[in-house]
Chains A and B, each alone.
Chain A
Amino acid sequence: MTAAGIARLLPDLASVQLVESEEIGIVGVGEATLPHIRGFVEKLGIDEAAFMKATHATFKLGIDFRDFGRIGESYIHPFGSFGEEVGGVGFHHYWLELARHGMARDLGDYSLAVAAAKANRFRPPSQDDSLASTYGYAYQFDATLFGPFMREFGLGIGIERHEGRVVTVERDGASGNVTALVLADGRRIEGDLFIDCSGFRSILLGQELDVPWEDWTHWLPCDRAAAMPCTHATDDIRPYTTATAMPAGWRWQIPLQHRMGNGYVFSSAHVSEDEACEAIRAAAEGTPLADPRILKFRPGRRAQSWSHNVIGVGLASGFLEPLESTSIYLAQMAITYLIELFPERGAIDPRDRDEFNRLVDMEYDRVRDFLILHYNATTRDDSEFWNHVRTMRLPDSLEGKLELWRKAGRIEKYSDGLFYDASWIAVYVGQGLLPEAHDPRAAMIAPDALARATERLRLAVTGEVAAMPGHRDFLRAEAARLAEAA
């Protein structure tokens, strides 16, 4: 992604040398994304349909969280809103008022993205201001195909690829900057700027420059995943990712066109690898296509993502578990900022480096708090893992947000970074964390009138969903359209 992004968007500024080794495999799980990926694909000039075909991608309207707040309960965190603000008061206040009178339906019934997801239907949002425009979408694709797709794309626009393993990193004695990489076969690759996309090994930023790692395991204890692909168990293809809470973590189901990605993200302090593999075998719904594979990770972030002339992108700079599908976003975000702050004529201005690190840190911190919420907002006391996350001490930044919600039903507002009001409300309400009080203005409408108005909205949502094609049908039609165009 990084090489293709730079080659496409900064064509005359730099020649891009991609160093990679086939000895090092791709983490072969289905990858769920956020709607921002569409901007990236479009910016690079990649045709959506071709991209989806090549990566066996499906559309994604949100994530279905099961058993997080309480076993047996579920909710969808949609790429879209719930209802609409009336008289400057957020919809959720009216919903809370209806709930008080026992007249509220599920909050998701007032969200087009949620209703469409539940019905396994999909159509791209409209471009007007109507109800049909109130959601976004992302992709679920095969990560083993996405990397090669981006590589091919990059090679087509001028990236030069060097197959081989890095064995030595050469540095300038005075500045400490990296000057060249030496590969196993002795080839030497010089550069002005080095971008470390080597994953957890972080061979430049971590191993060579020794940039410290800030560990967040105490807040996000999951440090392993057992991944196992399966066939689809049913004819439908879900236009959403499923995250189901497990005794020591959670498991994902990511539907691709040709199969279902499965995996158990777990805390090795609370369950053994063998037990986790057994658990994912038992839980997976389709026929397994391979044995479970263990992936290891550490939640946290490097103290600086840009140090000297090395920039970490993706896991080399930080890791947050895939609970909200943020991995690709975090890489994409770093690439975007890097392109904006790209060094001029090879000279790095420390002000640009500081700005890059400020922006990246802010993004990581905001996602981190949101992820922690999923674990902490629970009544589960059925395992040591859930007892730990339910009672752990939270970051102050999250504690303040939670208290504001509990006391007044309000969301801390920001415009930069990820996850705005609707996302926080989805998780709070979905995991049973209702505020003590809501906006007094919501109680100024007679409950019956409020119920009628929200029922009209719900019926409009239902009507829109009924007019949408099934997700699988839509994918088929798109594939046929692509074949015809070819």
Chain B
Amino acid sequence: MTAKPAIDAGVPHAATVVARTQESPSIFTLQLRLDDAAAQAAYRFAPGQFNMLYLYGVGEVPISIMSDPGDQGSIGHTIRAIGRVTQGLSSLQPGDQVGLRGPFGRGWPLQEIGGHDLVLVTGGLGCAPVVSVIHYVLRRRERFGKLVIIQGVKHAEDLIWREQYDHWATLPDTQVLVAANEGGALWPWHVGRVTELFSMARFNPERAAAMMCGPEGMMRAAAESLLQRGLPESRLFLSMERNMQCAVGRCGHCQLGGSFVCRDGPVFSWGQVKSLLAHRGF
């Protein structure tokens, strides 16, 4: 699903923080609204796309959009404070301004996979691109088959949105499988590698699609498990990350083989990238 930016993508638009949520010690969510009402009204995106967020005087970073495309009021970004820009963004409060360019890239193929069972695999700290799909699907539940949510984290305390996972597990036709390499007190889920969960996933491989996001090693292992279960390669999708500075396929940093991840991705089908993922350094 590709949506061309409905607003000019060359220069940032001023946007204001309307809400800020601390999700974990290092992860926070900013809800942003474009200051120009017409730009906010014209803004459209597809789940899986990203924005470039600009912190005044410091720089830009690519951040996935985690809100629902149906929410016209604000645009949600869940961010880990790890670099110069994201650490600065983490100190912003409601009323503060940032710059926003976007949305960019190709999102998840949500039209194509309508009617299918969905296996959503995420690894690492709060994988926003896939969480946005979970929200999207739950609001349009009748369009999809079974929903299997598989999440892996390193430490039990890395799992954000824990109440949400508990809630999703109670929904009909929805299976939630969570694993932590290292569990903790009262950790109700599996302790071990996320790939150990795949044998428990209940879906019909002949009419299922999978979407993955997270460390490349985890996605490779997950893809192997899913393909072994009989999921066709053409319905296995993943969201890739690379250094992105221009977001329009020009600056060259995000190249993955012949693809510009910012423009041709970040969502790819497995067949598009599998040969390169086998080589460290691409």
* A and B from one complex: no
Interface residues of A (CB under 8 A from B): none
